[in-house]
Amino acid sequence: MIAQKKRMILLLIFGLAIWLKTYIVYKSSFDLPMENLLQEIILILNPISSILLLIAVSTMFKGKLQKYGLLIIDLVATIILYANVVYYRFFSDFITIPVLFQTNNMGDLGGSIFELIQWQDIFLFIDIPILAYLVSTKFTNKLIVRKKETMLIFASALVMFAINIGLAEMERPQLLTRTFDREMLVKNIGTFNYHIYDSVMQTKTRAKRAFADSSEITEVENYIRGNNVPVNPNFTAKAKGKNVFVISLESTQNFVINNKVDGKEITPFLNDLIDQKGTYYFNNFYHQTGQGKTSDSEFIVDNSMYGLPSGAAFFTHAQNEYNATPEIIKEKGGYSSYVFHANNKSFWNRDIMYQTLGYDKYYSLKYFTTNKENSIGWGLKDDQFYAQSMKYLTTLPEPFYAKFITLTNHFPFTLKQEDEMIPEWTSDDGTVNRYFTTVRYEDEALKKFFNMLKEKGMYKDSMFIIYGDHYGISENHNEAMGKYLGKEVTPMVSAQLQKVPFIVHIPGDEGNKTIDTVSGQVDVQPTLLNLLGIKSNNLQFGNDMFSKQKKDFAVFRDGSVITDQYIYTEDKCYQSKDGTEAPKEKCAPYVEKGKNDLMYSDKIIYGDLLRFYNN
């Protein structure tokens, strides 16, 4: 009887500790808005089933080790919870299984991780030494949980999970089919159950390739062909035979364009470029990345397909068959293709994926000279990156396709004082304050690069595609962003802040236009191929952005949709013009198209269906 009471006390301490720290994290570290009492009840209840499951697992340890099972499980659970806290602080998202296995990226994160760690985080681990003390004392001698008790705990876990799911389905029907909405999953089934669910889904995706067959590609092809629109013939071959520079601006959002901070221009070079002849600026262009961030943007731009709902295709599906831009322009335009990026070649698995996509060479970190003087944050400073790239550029056979991936404007947006061209802003948010400074530096470095190309005679016979890869300021900084913008950052405003710059510059062309058609990164490949006069029968989810028949449409990886009339995000529909809420049925057709786009794109990638496609 005494032993049974001791067991109950120990298990209760463990359960309460995990439940309390999980609920505190929900409230203090994750942005999980509660719209009604039922949602709050679900949030309180959802850790219980996973806690009971963890207790049951801990009792499966043999003999005397059983009492240490709780301690081990507590430590592992706390690490998983804390990893989500740190990850969420920057990405406003939750870790998935593919991300957990991308450990080769972790060594390069450096100061970014330390910037996200806070001193009060230690309180998440405070129960571990208490539990360690209890299991090491006579209090827990001969504490063995019997098999019957283990089975009872398992059964209790299943009952609690069933209750949890029942309530969640009342609040959010078809919850478990909306796999792209991780926030909704965590809010309704809890962090630990979400990870179990994610593991099951990852196992299912692995099976999809094994069982895929050639008949599935026909359905996808019919869908894509039914949504394609004709290209704009006035822009066909406008840049035929020219060298192509594709420049990815790290973490650059569109709100900085033609804007100022404390009276100083943030992007004077890009502002001037937009006004020049030969420049076409798309001011309603959106990034569509998921957890793969920069690698997702590369994947989308090169393939006209969407990134995955979890993890990064660069990492999880690098051995697939793709019809990427480098392969197409090599076969049909005689182009050689190169990537310049002063980072470790294995980061995001780029050394493998670039070969799959058809790039001829990757100028990674080993091709650049780095030291303390010329590096900051994530590595080589942008002006040095461009300067050191010139010796390789001048040797490339023409015509070439060269992609440049910049680094300096990367979180946590640090910069040496001598490189600051505008002072930091003066809000209470250091991240937002520094962001303007590093964007200004990025802009100046790009100006220097253009001047270097002009000096080497490489400018006139080239076309430049300049775009932002993904957001830089996450939703965790909405208060400071609201102060800068002079308005509250509502969910609709947050969706609009996912705009990134997209600029096409063709020296020698007489045109100049700002185009306000809603478009996204998935539209880059068909636009680029038409400008080069290259026709391809490959499967593209995007359309030529210059086409007069292009629909105003962009879908985000989380299912949010942007059109010229409506914005759908966080399960609400808004009028684009004034931000007022509209009936959901107004957004329904666009939401349906977005879901189908994402579904068919995922189907191609998970099933590796392009191996069956002959274009």
CATH of the domain at 259: 3.40.720.10
Looking at the fold, whether 113 and 242 belong to one and the same domain comes out as no
- DSSP code at position 102: -
User: Which residues partner with 468 through β-bridges?
Assistant: 249
Q: Report the distance separating Cα 193 and Cα 187, nearest Å.
A: 11
CB 338 within 8 A of CB 359: yes
What pLDDT, on the 0 to 100 scale, is given for residue 391?
Answer: 96
Tokens for 149, please give them: 């008790």
What pLDDT, on the 0 to 100 scale, is given for residue 377?
Answer: 77
324: containing domain:
234-555
pLDDT, average across residues 203-211: 74
**What are the φ and ψ backbone dihedral angles of 240, each rounded to 5 degrees?**
-55, 130
**Sequence-separated (6 or more) residues with CB below 8 Å from residue 614:** none
Residue 452 lies in a domain: yes
Tokens for 410, please give them: 């990367």
pLDDT above 90 as % of the chain: 57
Chosen domain end from 510, 536, 555: 555
Query: Among residues 294, 316, 438, 563, which one is catalytic?
Result: 294
Looking at the fold, whether 265 and 144 belong to one and the same domain comes out as no
Tell me the angle at which helices 182-189 and 37-58 cross, rounded to the nearest 10 degrees: 70
CB 536 within 8 A of CB 324: no
Tokens for 363, please give them: 């100028």
Residue 294 annotated in active site: yes
pLDDT, average across residues 112-118: 72
Residue ranges of E strands in 297-381: 336-340, 361-363, 375-376, 379-380
Residue 10 lies in a domain: yes
Residue 112 has pLDDT above 80, yes or no: no
Q: Report the distance separating Cα 400 and Cα 289, nearest Å.
A: 26
- At residue 313, the 3 state secondary structure works out as helix
What pLDDT, on the 0 to 100 scale, is given for residue 165?
Answer: 87
What pLDDT, on the 0 to 100 scale, is given for residue 104?
Answer: 55
Q: Where are the alpha helices (DSSP H) in 29-173?
A: 37-58, 66-91, 97-100, 111-116, 127-135, 147-171
**Sequence-separated (6 or more) residues with CB below 8 Å from residue 350:** 295, 314, 339, 341, 343, 362, 364
Residue 612 lies in a domain: no
**DSSP characters over 145-166:** --HHHHHHHHHHHHHHHHHHHH
What pLDDT, on the 0 to 100 scale, is given for residue 323?
Answer: 94
Chosen domain end from 555, 574, 608: 555
Looking at the fold, whether 260 and 172 belong to one and the same domain comes out as no
pLDDT digits (tens, 9 = 90+) for 491-548: 999 999 999 999 999 999 999 999 999 999 999 999 999 999 999 989 999 999 999 9
Residue 229 lies in a domain: no
Q: How far is CA 104 from the centre of its chain?
A: 17
Per-residue confidence band for 148, with pLDDT thresholds at 50, 70 and 90? confident
**Nearest C-alpha neighbor of 44 from the set 141, 177, 140, 187:** 187
What pLDDT, on the 0 to 100 scale, is given for residue 113?
Answer: 66
pTM of the model: 0.78
pLDDT digits (tens, 9 = 90+) for 64-106: 666 677 788 889 889 989 988 888 887 677 877 666 655 555 5
Say if residue 145 is exposed, middle or buried (CB neighbours under 10 Å; 0-12, 13-18, 19+): buried
What pLDDT, on the 0 to 100 scale, is given for residue 469?
Answer: 96
Q: Which of 157-161, 265-269, 347-351 is predicted with the least confidence, judged by mean pLDDT? A: 347-351
Looking at the fold, whether 395 and 430 belong to one and the same domain comes out as yes
Q: How many domains does the chain have?
A: 2
Looking at the fold, whether 171 and 293 belong to one and the same domain comes out as no
- For every residue of 284-308, which 3-state class applies, written as one string? CEECCCCCCHHHHHHHHHHHCCCCC
Looking at the fold, whether 203 and 257 belong to one and the same domain comes out as no
What pLDDT, on the 0 to 100 scale, is given for residue 190?
Answer: 87
Tokens for 580, please give them: 């007022």
In which element (H, E) is residue 437 found? Answer: helix 430-455
Q: Report the distance separating Cα 372 and Cα 13, nearest Å.
A: 49
What pLDDT, on the 0 to 100 scale, is given for residue 341?
Answer: 96
Residue 596 lies in a domain: no
Residue 413 lies in a domain: yes
CB 551 within 8 A of CB 229: yes
What pLDDT, on the 0 to 100 scale, is given for residue 97?
Answer: 67
Q: What is the mean pLDDT of the chain?
A: 89
Residue 366 lies in a domain: yes
Residue 262 has pLDDT above 70, yes or no: yes
Looking at the fold, whether 241 and 182 belong to one and the same domain comes out as no
**Nearest C-alpha neighbor of 558 from the set 348, 376, 312, 307:** 307
Looking at the fold, whether 253 and 173 belong to one and the same domain comes out as no
What pLDDT, on the 0 to 100 scale, is given for residue 35?
Answer: 75
Looking at the fold, whether 433 and 481 belong to one and the same domain comes out as yes
Chosen domain end from 555, 577, 607: 555
Per-residue confidence band for 411, with pLDDT thresholds at 50, 70 and 90? confident
Residue 576 lies in a domain: no
Looking at the fold, whether 183 and 238 belong to one and the same domain comes out as no
pLDDT digits (tens, 9 = 90+) for 3-48: 566 667 777 888 888 899 999 989 888 878 787 888 889 889 989 9
pLDDT digits (tens, 9 = 90+) for 321-369: 999 999 999 999 999 999 999 988 878 889 889 999 999 999 999 899 9
Looking at the fold, whether 472 and 420 belong to one and the same domain comes out as yes
Looking at the fold, whether 497 and 400 belong to one and the same domain comes out as yes
What pLDDT, on the 0 to 100 scale, is given for residue 431?
Answer: 92
Residue 202 has pLDDT above 80, yes or no: no
Q: How many CA atoms lie within 13 A of 47 on its CB side?
A: 20
**Sequence-separated (6 or more) residues with CB below 8 Å from residue 251:** 409, 410, 411, 413, 435, 468, 469, 470, 471, 472
What pLDDT, on the 0 to 100 scale, is given for residue 30?
Answer: 85
